[in-house]
Amino acid sequence: MLNRNLNLVYNFAKGAMLKVAEDKKKYEAFLQKIKQSFGDMEITTLKELVKNISLSPSVRSGDKDKLDPHINYYEVGLRDIDDQSLITIEQCKNKKLGPANPYLIEKYALKENDLLLPYRASRTLKVARVGNGYPAPLVTNASVIRIEMYEGTSKDLALLIQAYLSIHYVQMYILPARNRPPEPPTSRELISTKRLADLPIPKFTNELVENKNFSDFYLQRLEIENKLLDLVRNSKYLLTCIAKDEEETINLFLHHKEKLPELQRNESNILGKLKELLNELVLLEEGCDKPKKFPYYS
Lowest mean pLDDT among 51-60, 61-70, 95-104, 244-253: 244-253
User: What is the pLDDT, as a whole number, of residue 19?
Assistant: 56
Give the mean pLDDT of 247-258.
75
Residue 60 confidence (pLDDT) above 70: yes
Distance between CA atoms of residues 161 and 94, nearest Å: 31
User: What is the pLDDT, as a whole number, of residue 124?
Assistant: 75
Residue 296 confidence (pLDDT) above 50: no
User: What is the pLDDT, as a whole number, of residue 8?
Assistant: 60
β-bridge partners, 44: 201
Per-range mean pLDDT, top range of 61-70, 146-155, 277-286: 146-155
Distance between CA atoms of residues 58 and 65, nearest Å: 16
Q: Is the peptide bond before 185 cis (omega within 30 degrees of 0)?
A: no
Task: DSSP letter for 93, please.
Answer: T
Residue 22 confidence (pLDDT) above 90: no
Distance between CA atoms of residues 189 and 184, nearest Å: 11
E strands of the chain, at which residues? 43-45, 52-55, 74-75, 115-118, 128-129, 138-139, 144-148, 200-202
Higher-pLDDT residue of 232 and 169 is 169
Distance between CA atoms of residues 271 and 284, nearest Å: 20
The one-letter amino acid code at 45 reads T
Give the mean pLDDT of 53-82.
88
User: What is the pLDDT, as a whole number, of residue 177?
Assistant: 65
